[in-house]
Structure 1
Amino acid sequence: MAGKPKLYYFNGRGRMETIRWLLAAAGIEVCFCFIKKPIILLIFLLKDGSLLFQQVPMVEIDGMKMVQTRAILNYIAGKHSLYGKDLKERALIDMYVEATMDLNEMIMHYPIQPPETKAKHLATIIEKATTRYFPVYEKALKDHGQDFLVGNRFSRADVQLLETILMAEECKPDMLSKFPVLQAFKAKISNIPTIKKFLQPGSQRKPPLDEKLIPKVMSIFNIGNE
């Protein structure tokens, strides 16, 4: 029997967070190997060639040491039936997911913005979320009248959209005020048992980066990018 997947990253959000979400949605227990100092990353990961491109996140799973966030997510989704029933559904899921990851990336970088650009960055997040991204999901769900984004079946697209919605609401609590269908979607997906468990206090979900953690994170990644 295969052991639990091992997740290598710092003890906080970042590009590992969506991987945590997807594994949690699939009901998979994981082990964390937190990177606390650059030298640890250098000795234990770079020196033995585990990090193909000198970057984390890295996930040990099924005998592989996987890097590159999208490759990891694709593998987990495919393995756990969260990637549609055919090639067309997978293509649609990919389109939705790529868009949510674009918005997710903007939100993820908000805490590390310098003070002089932070307000402008937040305004961009709000503008993009409410005029470019959320209207698409609102219309898609409304047009087909189903509970899930693709094929009336729970998929990674639903997981990643919920993650991004909750991150957006951390920036602006009323972000969904003009999107009633997305509000219903949020409630529905949040109550799926594995997701509900992940949203409980004490779960492996990570909070937003705070000011105290940011310098530590920057130090960890001074030998490479995420």
Structure 2
Amino acid sequence: MGKKTTPGCEEEGNHQLRSMSGKPRLTYFNGRGRMESIRWLLAAAGVKFEEIFLETREQYLKLIKDGHLLFDQVPLVEMDGLKLVQTRAILNYIAGKYNLHGKDLKERARIDMFVEGTLDLTSMLFMYPFSPPEQREAQLASIIEKSTTRYLPVYEKALRQHGQEFLVGNHLSLADVQLIEIILMLEEKKCDILAEFPQLQAFKARTCNIPTIKKFLQPGSPRKPPPDEPYIATVKEILNLG
């Protein structure tokens, strides 16, 4: 499990030590959000990482003041001497570094198309807990409807036509990691959501059995639970969302 710290008076003194560890350092809230897909991808690649959890608005503002956030936004991933921001850029860098982005430009384009779909769904689920309580039932129904009529059928068809274990090139890729993440998140909302998708059921079974992913799914891993009200309140306070 990644080391958890919070920025503070020891941050500067420990920076060099952490950098020398060679592990990527992830700075975000102590929850899923936009960092969870990054955690998933690093875990699937077998890469251990450290985490710094933002707990106060002052910590967030200090990151901005110190010039660590290019667009004043987290997630922030520090690896290979880079301060990486913007979720898609981070995912693409990790996927390229660990051979999870296809063998050529054509495969990469196909992977990216699949990923854009899963990121659309992830964004819906990411925003869902932050919506007013009276809107959540209708919003969740919309997410389930879009998932089962627009998105999941695309992956079901791709796996059926491809006839192999993974979405592109029969090699684990960013697209597969994103897909298994969103499948498990959707099942948290509707446990039988894959009932009409046999190819996705089989995909889930074999992908969850990949050693690095199986390890990430075990208790005590850096995988984060669904967002609860304290997490939502912390994020709102830090980002001054009101």
Place the TM-score, normalised by the shorter chain, in its bin: over 0.9
Residue 28 of structure 1 corresponds to which residue in structure 2?
47
Are positions 1:97 and 2:115 aligned together?
yes
1:3 aligned onto 2:28: no
Q: Post-superposition shift, 1:108?
A: 1.5
Question: Could you tell me how far apart the structure 2 residues matched to 1:115 and 1:12 are?
Answer: 20
- Structure 2 stretches lacking a partner, 5+ long: 1-19
Task: Look up the match of 1:13.
Answer: 32
2:131 is equivalent to residue 113 of structure 1: yes
Q: Which residue of 2 aligns with 1:41?
A: 60
CA contact (8 A) 1:25 1:195 kept: yes
**C-alpha displacement at 1:212, in angstroms?**
2.4
Q: Is the 8 A contact 1:100 1:161 kept in 2?
A: yes
CA distance in 2, matches of 1:145, 1:161: 17
Distance 1:145 1:57 in 2: 36
The alignment partner of 2:83 has SS state of: strand
- Rounded Cα–Cα distance in structure 2 between residues aligned with 1:100 and 1:47: 33
Partner amino acid, structure 2, of 1:24: A
Residue identity opposite 1:127 in structure 2: E
How far apart are residue 48 of structure 1 and its match?
1.3
Identity rate of aligned residues, in percent?
A: 66
- TM-score (norm: length of structure 1): 0.96
Pairs within 5 Å for 1:75-90: 75-90=93-108
- Structure 1 unaligned residues grouped into runs of 5+: none
SS at match of 1:15: helix
Conserved 8 A contact 2:30-2:231 = no
Question: Deviation at 1:206?
Answer: 0.2
* TM-score, structure 2 as length reference: 0.90
> Per-residue CA shift, 1:160-217, capped at 9, x if unaligned?
0000000111111111011011000001100000000000011000001012221111
Whether the aligned pair in 2 keeps the contact of 1:12 and 1:206 (CA below 8 Å) is yes
Q: RMSD value over aligned CA atoms?
A: 1.1
